Amino acid sequence: MRHRHEKRWAFLFVWVLVITGCWDRTEIEDIGIVTGIAIDQPEKKDKQGKDSKKFDLTHNIVIPQASAGKSAGSKKAYANVTTKTESVFEGIRHVSTITGNSPSYEYLKVLAISEEIARTYNLQELLNFFLRNTEARRTVKVVIVQGKAKNVLNKRPIIENNPAVNLSDIVENSKKVIQITPEVTLGDVSKQLTSKRNLVIPRVMVVKDKAQMSGAAVIKGKNAKMIGTLTPEEVGGLNLLRGEVKNGVVKGKMAKGKFIVFEVDRIQHQIKSEVKKEKVGFTLQINVKGKLREDNVMAEDDFDEKFLHEAERVIQNQLEKLTQRTLRKTQKELKVDVIGCGKKLGIQDHQVWKEYEQNWDEAFSRMPVKVNIQVTITEFGTKGRERIKK
């Protein structure tokens, strides 16, 4: 008897599993592969004016045949669908009414937000849908676009077929260039903004029909809105201050219009907080090691210690100039801490941090920050001195 019941239960169990299946089956050719989303201020203002919180949502949807077929290259491999909406989710639902293939965000690469939107909307609220959605990954890259965000999804890249994929690749290149902000993902945005920390997001602009990196946008953690921009040079300085450079090139001017090019190889980076009589200050020790890559100082002898020291000094000056500029901009003008000094203080002297926590950015703008940079040239390639020396 018992045995028969067991079989019946087993059957029931399998049956229940089987009949609940298939509910979310969609073939891969039936989904709309969304690789990029742009959020813009609407083209025309509504009658109610600015109060109606509407925005344009642009989906960059891949057209697979044109992307993978033999004829790729002649046809446009993507389509942009724009809807006007009050919430992201409504906008997405609206897309389904326009295209037969319902959009899938599993392949989402880039979220492009226009500067206007970033300055007026709370980013955390804006991106809430994507953070909640299980389809979109937390590794989706976020960029701020100067001007219309959908323009970056409209520009056909040089080699790639898809502008969103291309943009995502460009953002990844940040590791190679010192003037580009390290990539910021949806996860980073959520992490930083939830803990009310400031955030620096790569900024993109369209130059001559091509999307191009151009500095960074600074988001204030407190209200999750954009408060200012950084130029590429300032980004370079910021990267040094944060010690986030993996690889990067710095040009230094020697005497008589000669220059040398230095490639950063490794950075040792340390922030120290100093509390003296209620006064808080910071010291940043940055040790940069790298290679001498290019110069037009020809006659010099690389084996000559003097030349190397001179080169190191020049680069050091250059880097100091960069960091000072960035500090001035972020600390004094924008009054935000984007270096991570607050976090360090919280670790190194928690009591003091507690006092300032509520109003940290304001307080930080008045604190002294000392930057010590030390440059060491470890290698100068396969060229030493001139062969014929007279």
Partner 1 sequence: MLTEDLQTNTQTLQNMLGKNPDVVLRRLIIHDAAKEAAMIYIEGLVDKREIHEQILMPLMKPGTENTEGNMENKQVKQWLITEAIPVSTVQPVQRVEECMQAIFVGNTVLLVQGIAEAFVIGTSNWETRPSEEPITEALIRGPREGFVESIHKNTAIIRRKIKDQNLVFLPYKVGRRSQKDLYVVYIKEIANQALVDDVKSRVERIDIDAVEESGYVEQLIEENYLSPFPQTQNTERPDRVVQALLEGRVAILLDGTPFVLLAPVTFPMLMSSPEDYYERWIPGSLIRLLRYIAVFISLFLPALYISFISYNHGMIPTKLAISISASREGVPFPSIVEAFIMEVTVEILREAGIRLPKTIGQAVGIVGALVIGQAAVEAGIVSPITVIVVSLTAISSFSFPQYGAAIAIRIMRFSMMIAASFLGLFGVILMSIFLIAHLVKLKSFGVSYLAPFAPIYLRDWKDGLLRLPFFTLRKRTRITKPKDSTRR
Binding site for partner 1 (CB under 8 A): 17-18, 21-22, 24-29, 31, 33, 35, 62, 64-65, 67-69, 104, 106-107, 109, 135, 137, 165
Please state the closest distance from residue 10 (CB atom) to partner 1, in A. 11
Q: How many CB atoms lie within 10 A of CB 56?
A: 20
And the tokens for 150?
């959908």
Please state the closest distance from residue 163 (CB atom) to partner 1, in A. 13
What is the SS3 assignment for 266? strand
Nearer Cβ to partner 1 (26/296): 26
Beta bridge partner(s), residue 199: 219
Nearer Cβ to partner 1 (65/223): 65
Nearer Cβ to partner 1 (162/181): 162
Which amino acid belongs to residue 162? Answer: N
Nearer Cβ to partner 1 (25/44): 25
Please state the closest distance from residue 113 (CB atom) to partner 1, in A. 21
141-145 vs 55-62, strand pairing mode: unpaired
Please state the closest distance from residue 27 (CB atom) to partner 1, in A. 6
Nearer Cβ to partner 1 (13/259): 13
Please state the closest distance from residue 77 (CB atom) to partner 1, in A. 9
Q: Which residues contact 219 (CB under 8 A, 6 or more apart)?
A: 118, 123, 192, 193, 198, 199, 200, 201, 225, 226, 227
Q: Which residues contact 4 (CB under 8 A, 6 or more apart)?
A: none
What is the SS3 assignment for 229? strand
Beta bridge partner(s), residue 290: 264, 377
